Amino acid sequence: MRIQQLEYLEKIVETGSINEAAKQLFISQPSLSQAMKEMEKEYKIQLFYRTKLGITLTNEGREFINYSRGILDQVNLLDERFGKTTTRKHIFSVSGQHYAFVVHAFVELVKKIGQDEYQFTLRETQTQNVLDDIQTFKSELGLNDL
């Protein structure tokens, strides 16, 4: 396993698509797919369910990404302390239905905390998608009116 593979995995989970992740990472889709298959083979697990509609994490994949994010956070700490000048921001994503109060609260949160340490995302979507976003780790927080 390489750190780069973990970064690739995080981008795939963030975008929900291997094609879109490859575009954002500026690599070819086959190279990205191969890197993920190598990691799956090395650990003898299946990270994703692959469909025509995109990818979702398997149960093992969800567990793996939790460990992976911990490793990437540790790498970031090493880089901040001993090396690179660029810092890896923490990701904080919220999914919710389209309500003005959600947008207002989110904007206030971003203003209060600032964007130096965090990359913020607000995903406005439907009820079922909010739940899916939490389950697939696209968002850390979900707001629904169930």
CATH of domain 1-83: 1.10.10.10
Q: pLDDT tens across 16-26, in order? A: 889 999 999 99
- Residue closest to 90 by CA, chosen among 66, 65, 116, 64: 116
pLDDT tens for each residue of the chain, 146 residues long:
899 999 999 999 988 889 999 999 999 999 999 999 999 999 999 999 988 877 889 999 999 998 999 899 998 888 877 775 656 678 888 888 888 888 888 888 888 887 777 888 888 888 888 888 888 888 888 887 75
- In angstroms, the CA 104 to CA 112 distance is 12
- In angstroms, the CA 117 to CA 124 distance is 23
Backbone phi, then psi, for 77, in 5-degree steps?
-60, -40
Structural domain spans, the chain:
1-83, 89-146
CATH of domain 89-146: 3.40.190.10
